[in-house]
Amino acid sequence: MRILHSRGLINVRGGNGSVKISSREFLMTPSGLPKHILKPDDLVVVRLDGTWTGRYKPTIEYRLHLEIYRRVSSAQAILHSHNPYTILALRIGLKLDPSELVETKYAIGECIGVVEELEPGSLELAKRVGEEAEKCRVVVLENHGVVAYGETVYHALDAIEALEDYAKIKITEHLVAKKSK
Ligand SMILES: [Zn+2]
């Protein structure tokens, strides 16, 4: 979460993350606390049946994490960020294809899922992200952010960082092409 914050990919209260700690439970960031100063004790243990224990409530988006872990066995860690350039790229209609760059091909894989704008924390959003996550490791939420999963938290982080760098390249390329017309 500190890396996401230092790279401008979340605000202090934005985004969330989780890591699987057994076949039935995962550690998750709490709701409301500033994300760049979280301590191990602040984390919440959430079980795949939706119950949880901890000093704080889990993040409002815990359903989205549950949905991915239930559907995708290879997901061992999940991060949700608010990448500004990725959001912008979709808003101006740019198509994101990870096969375009060596780095994105490696960090993201074959595809990027897209989910229409839905209420944060809603069951509907969780379900749609779960559906896309069955096909792609990285899912962009229109006008909202990104969800990525991987075998480790760094695998998920790498995908989110690669996506944001790619979005910057795509937007700049679009502007240069427009200017030279
Ligand atoms: Zn969010």
61 is catalytic: yes
Q: What are the residues whose beta carbons fall under 8 Å from the beta carbon of 149, sequence distance 6 or more?
A: 68, 72, 74, 75, 76, 77, 78, 79, 133, 137, 156
| Alpha-carbon gap, residue 66 to 49, rounded angstroms | 8
Round the CA-based radius of gyration of the chain to a whole number and report it: 16
| Alpha-carbon gap, residue 156 to 152, rounded angstroms | 7
Percent of the chain with pLDDT over 70: 100
Residue 26 CA to ligand 1 center (angstroms) comes to 19
Residue 64's pLDDT band (boundaries 50, 70, 90)? very high
**What is the per-residue pLDDT for 178?**
86
Q: Hey, which CATH number is domain 2-179, 3.40.50.2030, 2.40.30.10, 3.40.225.10, 3.30.450.20?
A: 3.40.225.10
> Is 63 buried (19+), middle (13-18) or exposed (0-12) by CB count in 10 A?
buried
Tens of pLDDT, residues 125-160: 999 999 999 999 999 999 999 999 999 999 999 999
Work out the average pLDDT over 75-93: 98
Residue 175's pLDDT band (boundaries 50, 70, 90)? very high
pLDDT above 80: residue 124: yes
Residue 156 CA to ligand 1 center (angstroms) comes to 16
Residue 181's pLDDT band (boundaries 50, 70, 90)? confident
Work out the average pLDDT over 87-110: 97
Residue 113 CA to ligand 1 center (angstroms) comes to 16
Active-site residue (options: 25, 61, 100, 110) = 61
Mean pLDDT of the chain: 96
Which one, of 84, 78, 59, lies nearest residue 21 by Cα?
A: 78
Question: What are the boundaries of each domain within the chain?
Answer: 2-179
Residue 171 CA to ligand 1 center (angstroms) comes to 22
Residue 41 CA to ligand 1 center (angstroms) comes to 23
Percent of the chain with pLDDT over 90: 97
Tens of pLDDT, residues 14-34: 999 999 999 999 999 999 899
